[in-house]
């Protein structure tokens, strides 16, 4: 699973008018999968729907990055959004991931289960957008809970409707990306719509789940005071579920991937926020009573 696949070029949402874009879908599609041994295309589609296989970009063991303690973070392939500041454009298409059997993933988690329990860590599904493969992720989470392993979902919440209430039951923590606070800014940043993120956060809160909010601060894109205020007001609707808000300064670490994939990069010359701007945004969130990092 740790081997990096050869990834095809895709097209970001800002090029919707092009003929190349018209031949693709934001959801990545199901065509072009590498076939697991003994499975034809129909078998693969059925196995994806049932969660018997998942398409994985890569995985990593880290500490206190994608949730508490030592964690196994699994980056799933496929994402419906095209964020201008995306660090992993090589995860946009599901078909570019490596098919992994459910049993193999569960065995991998079981191998590290004692480490996770000793450090207060666990399994985190990230992406791409892991909610594109709800059956696989939720079945892994169910098995993890049966092992006593903490579960964490890193998501934009954009695919809210993909997750049933039963699936939410097996989430201990959600790292929820609230990318912007108003519909127009959200559309410019991601190519998608904001409301599903709000709906998913409120469902998590109603189910008694914990939320860590992530907000990427990009000067002149997400930094407007009104936009930040709107993000704070959204987070207030999640109530006590929000443990803290992470203000993540924009950086250019993802730019080489855009270049390698020959995708036009909209933030080519974008600078990160100043210390003063980050402090102002953190203070805005704190004025609403949130713990902020």
Radius of gyration of the chain (CA): 19
In the predicted structure, residue 135 carries a pLDDT above the cut 80: yes
Superfamily grouping for domain 39-286: Aldolase class I (3.20.20.70)
- pLDDT for 42 equals 84
**How far is it, in rounded angstroms, from Cα 30 to Cα 94?**
7
pLDDT surpassing 50 at residue 278: yes
What is the token pair recorded at 237?
Answer: 């609707």
pLDDT in tens, 195-231: 999 999 999 999 999 999 999 999 999 999 999 999 9
50 within 8 A of 42, measured Cβ to Cβ: no
Please state whether the peptide bond connecting residue 128 to the residue before it is cis, i.e. omega within 30 degrees of 0.
yes
Average confidence score pLDDT of the chain? 88
């Amino acid at each position: 699973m740790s081997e990096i696949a050869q990834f095809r070029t895709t097209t970001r949402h800002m090029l919707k008018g092009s003929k190349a874009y018209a031949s693709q879908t934001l959801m990545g599609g199901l065509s072009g999968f590498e076939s697991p041994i003994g499975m034809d295309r129909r078998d693969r589609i059925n196995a994806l729907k049932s969660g018997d296989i998942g398409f994985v970009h890569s995985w990593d063991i880290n500490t206190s990055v994608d949730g508490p303690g030592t964690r196994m973070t699994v980056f799933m392939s496929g994402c419906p959004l095209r964020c201008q500041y995306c660090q992993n454009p090589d995860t946009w298409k599901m078909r570019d991931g490596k098919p992994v059997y459910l049993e193999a993933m569960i065995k991998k988690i079981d191998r590290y289960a004692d480490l996770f329990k000793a450090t207060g860590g666990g399994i985190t599904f990230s992406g791409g957008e892991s909610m594109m493969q709800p059956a696989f992720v939720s079945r892994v989470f169910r098995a993890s809970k049966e092992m006593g392993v903490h579960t964490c979902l890193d998501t934009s919440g954009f695919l809210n409707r993909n997750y049933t209430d039963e699936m939410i039951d097996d989430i201990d923590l959600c790292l929820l990306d609230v990318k912007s606070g108003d519909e127009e800014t959200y559309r410019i940043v991601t190519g998608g719509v904001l409301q599903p993120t709000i709906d998913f956060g409120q469902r998590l809160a109603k189910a008694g789940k914990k939320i860590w909010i992530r907000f990427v601060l990009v000067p002149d894109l997400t930094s407007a005071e009104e936009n930040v205020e709107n993000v704070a007001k959204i987070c207030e609707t999640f109530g006590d579920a929000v443990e803290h808000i992470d203000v993540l300064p924009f950086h250019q670490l993802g730019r080489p991937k855009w270049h390698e994939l020959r995708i036009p990069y909209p933030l080519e010359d974008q600078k990160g926020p100043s210390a003063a701007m980050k402090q102002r945004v953190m203070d805005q969130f704190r004025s609403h009573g949130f713990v902020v990092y």
